[in-house]
Structure 1
Amino acid sequence: MELDEICRPIREYLDEAEERLKSERNVDSPGLSDLLYYSLRGGGKRIRPILILLSGMLYKGSKDRLISMALAVELTHLATLVHDDTIDNSSVRWGRPTINTLWGVEQAVLLGDYLFAHAGELAASTDNIRVIKLLSKTLMIITGGEVAQARSAFNLEQTREHYFHRISSKTASL
């Protein structure tokens, strides 16, 4: 089964989510606007928003709230990638130079922070405290996973359990 076929029931929602994502680039700060434009037109299959929208269809959730949740998770995912590229000093993502390569570490960190904050705002717009708590808890897990990775990067004696716990505490937790 192809991804297009899987997305057929939520195509309208996905299209609206993409339009809203494009509008997220329009901010008052020209420098931030440039960073957002570049990062939001990157690659990615948008699997996380697809899963949220498909799940939401099962529960007949509000279209606007579902799209806000999907965008909150997508922006959180993007923020983790921006920060991860910066921490790892990666120079390429999706076949293009990374934010930290083009604009430097400081700009990359600030963009990631902005994306996290905006994701929180989108989660809050759902008026669902469970969504807000879940997003916050997920960010804490991801941060813990990054710290664990940094501390065990060259530890050749780590257990398999520790390794799997560490990698599952990264973006997979989204």
Structure 2
Amino acid sequence: MLDQKAHKPHERLAAHLKDDLSQVDEMIRARMASEHAPRIPEVTAHLVDAGGKRLRPMLTLASARLCGYEGGHHIHLATAVEFIHTATLLHDDVVDESGQRRGRPTANLLWDNKSSVLVGDYLFARSFQLMTEADSLRVLQVLSNASATITEGEVLQLTAAQDLGTTEDTYFKVVRGKTAALFAAATEVGGILAGVSEDRIKALHDYGDALGIAFQVVDDLLDFWGGDATGKNIGDDFRERKLTLPIIKAIARGDDEERAFWKRTLEKNDQRDGDLERALEIMTAHGALDDTRAAALDWAARAKACLDALPEDPIRDMLSDIADYVVARLN
């Protein structure tokens, strides 16, 4: 019976998948253990227990169940997806020199960079072990390709950072890599496990891809608009000199004086009191924030449209509601 107190779409989906999620949690505990290096479960537990929504593994469970899968390998793959996600968070916090995630100190701050990187590597290795246990070469290909794409997206972001010539096309390549690739793989492997048609597998992939893009665009916009959903302070991306979609739009539409401002604050890292307010003023004047919101809404709508190719089911309705919820954070 569903938890009547679950009001948000991801909470309703979690209630619907309660038994599966419980098995995923058990497998996470078992597979993050280490006989010889107790720091591994310590560092992993710090992130795993931080109150994340488990959205990505839920997508794997949901897509498998939506497609009629009745076996047990979706538990292995959902756990693998969560490990890939956790590993990337550990690595990201080192790269970004972050001190806070989800309102808590980051692992690299509590321990050190070496521990974060090596534990992330351990989780990647564990995820590949889990993938092989599903006994599907295609599933292994999809998730391993996603792992490579995530890293590729992060490296592309490094090379594009602080480069005022970065285009929207490059931005979306970064987003497809670092965020959408795992969403798309998480949903796609559920369909592959269930053995459904190629049209349905593609629909699941495309849903995850569009949802992941919407999710990241919203996150980037909330960095300037605020909101509790990101666990970040307003303007963190600006202070870290990240060229996200609102800034890219503002730069493209700005005059010479505004370009000089972006060059000073982002390229030369000369940020002063009042610069964040000035950045917001420029983005607002050029409609960059509103247009970024419109882009997020468009990607959410694309995600929902992909679900039309999938069977009618309460899970399909919940996946549609999740796409709405992702962009509802902007209201």
TM-score for both structures, normalised by structure 1: 0.93
User: Corresponding residue for 1:72?
Assistant: 80
Which residue of 68, 75, 78 maps to 1:60? 68
Provide the rounded CA distance (Å) in 1 between the counterparts of 2:49 and 2:12. 23
In structure 1, runs of 5+ residues without a counterpart are none
Which residue of 80, 90, 102 maps to 1:82? 90
User: Corresponding residue for 1:112?
Assistant: 120
1:154 matched to 2:162: yes
Contact 2:56–2:78 (8 Å) recurs in 1: yes
User: Corresponding residue for 1:94?
Assistant: 102
Contact 1:22–1:40 (8 Å) recurs in 2: no
1:133 matched to 2:170: no
Provide the rounded CA distance (Å) in 1 between the counterparts of 2:18 and 2:130. 21
Q: Which range moved further: 16-25 or 141-150?
A: 16-25
Identity %: 37
Q: How many angstroms does 1:62 deviate by?
A: 4.3
Provide the rounded CA distance (Å) in 2 between the counterparts of 1:62 and 1:117. 27
Counterparts in 2 of 1:43 and 1:4: CA distance versus 1, 3 Å: closer
What is the Cα-based RMSD across aligned positions, in Å? 1.5
Q: How many angstroms does 1:132 deviate by?
A: 0.7
Q: Secondary structure at the match of 2:148?
A: helix
Which residue of 130, 134, 150 maps to 1:142? 150
Structure 1 consecutive aligned stretches of length 4 or more whose deviation exceeds 3 Å: none
Which residue of 22, 26, 40 maps to 1:15? 22
1:41 matched to 2:61: no
Q: Which range moved further: 151-160 or 14-23?
A: 14-23
Contact 2:32–2:123 (8 Å) recurs in 1: no
Provide the rounded CA distance (Å) in 1 between the counterparts of 2:176 and 2:77. 21
* The structure with more radius of gyration: 2
TM-score for both structures, normalised by structure 2: 0.50
1:27-84 per-residue CA deviation (whole Å, 9 max, x = no partner) reads: 2122223222323212310111111111101233244200101010011011111101
Count of aligned pairs: 174
